[in-house]
Amino acid sequence: MRILLFLVGLTFISLQANALTPDIIKDGDVKGIYATLSDFRHNTPYLVDGKHNGDKIKLNQFFFSPTISCMEDGQSKLFYKDSIFAITLKDGRNFRFINREPYLIADTSCLYVYSQKKIVSERKQEGPHTRTINKVKTEYFFSTGDQISVYPLSIVNLRQNLNVSKAAFNRLEKEFTTDEALIKTDKKTGRFRVNELLLTEGK
């Protein structure tokens, strides 16, 4: 009986974890690899065509492995996550590995904007008791120029790393008065509104 209750408890915990776990990229979802920023901009990924037995791309996500393994027609090729620019999925989404973790490339119209879902714990007081609740939170980041360095998307980080005129940045600060405002998107174009403003500025 104890074993049965233990297994039921494990199943419940597993279901809760799966419900909260951010999107997991399966090896079979990967279409190809953009080795460089230039490859990404010109849409020329390294592809595994899947025409041969054993053709596959393995992200090696367990234990934060630093490598991605590609097998095609019996030939193995290794990519380092911190040296490639991004991977592209069969559904059209692109992810960049930052500290070996995948970040969705959400917008590239001006700033490169990335998002990542993380599980955060919040403590909630219920009468005399305190309960911990796990929630999924989406965090946003950006890069610019050569796109090498990635920063949390905030007004302070934009001020320090965005190469625009003082007048242009003053207009940006006037439009976006909080960090939360920076993650808003234009419903018509799908772009982040901060990128729409920068494109209007001609930067």
pLDDT tens digits, one per residue of 56-86: 899 987 667 899 999 888 888 999 998 999 9
The answer to whether 44 touches 35, Cβ cutoff 8 Å, is no
Q: Is the pLDDT of residue 103 over 80?
A: yes
Q: How far is CA 49 from CA 5, 24, 27, 108, in A?
A: 47, 22, 14, 27
Amino acid, res. 181:
A
Nearest-10 Cα torsion for 64, 83, 87, 23: 30
50 Cβ contact list (under 8 Å, min separation 6):
56
> Mean pLDDT score of the chain, rounded to an integer?
85
Q: Is the pLDDT of residue 181 over 50?
A: yes
Q: How confident is the model over 105-145, as pLDDT tens digits?
A: 999 999 999 999 988 888 887 777 788 888 888 999 999 98
Please give the Cα distance from 16 to 119 (Å, whole number): 12
The answer to whether 143 touches 132, Cβ cutoff 8 Å, is no
